Amino acid sequence: MSELAVVIGAWYQESGGQAFEVVALDADTSTIEIQYFEGEVEELEFDAWGEMQLLAVEPPEDWTGAFDELDADDLGYSDTAIHPENWAGPLAVLDTTDSQ
């Protein structure tokens, strides 16, 4: 029986099962919406939550699990620094201006 509180954004794991994140609570329907790392979404009843044997776990380091068709270029950053072809440094402009 789980004694862990339901916290949106927290990660849990049922013993021997996959880790999942709580993504929503609906008090009107008494349900908890969870999402597994691979992206599958499931809805649990409040009663089912209380019967589960859960452990609180750390979120995965790689947040891209639910986005299986994501390339490194799609992330908007890379390991290489990007500079204009003529970039010589922030003070290079001082060398090119005429001093009067």
List the one residue out of 19, 25, 57 whose CA is nearest residue 39. Answer: 19
What pLDDT band is residue 3 in, cutting at 50, 70 and 90?
Answer: confident
Q: Which domain holds residue 19?
A: 1-58+65-70
List the one residue out of 38, 23, 35 whose CA is nearest residue 70. Answer: 38
Question: Does residue 76 form part of some domain?
Answer: no
Question: Does residue 81 form part of some domain?
Answer: no
Question: Does residue 40 form part of some domain?
Answer: yes
* Paired tokens of 9: 């954004």
Question: Does residue 7 form part of some domain?
Answer: yes
Question: Does residue 82 form part of some domain?
Answer: no
Task: Give the chain's radius of gyration (CA, Å).
Answer: 24
DSSP-based helix, strand, coil % in the chain, nearest 5: 20, 25, 55
As for how many domains the chain has, the answer is 1
- In this predicted model, what pLDDT tens digit does every residue of 68-95 receive, in sequence order? 555 555 555 555 665 666 666 666 667 6
Q: What CATH number has the domain bearing residue 37?
A: 2.30.30
Q: Is the pTM of this model over 0.95?
A: no
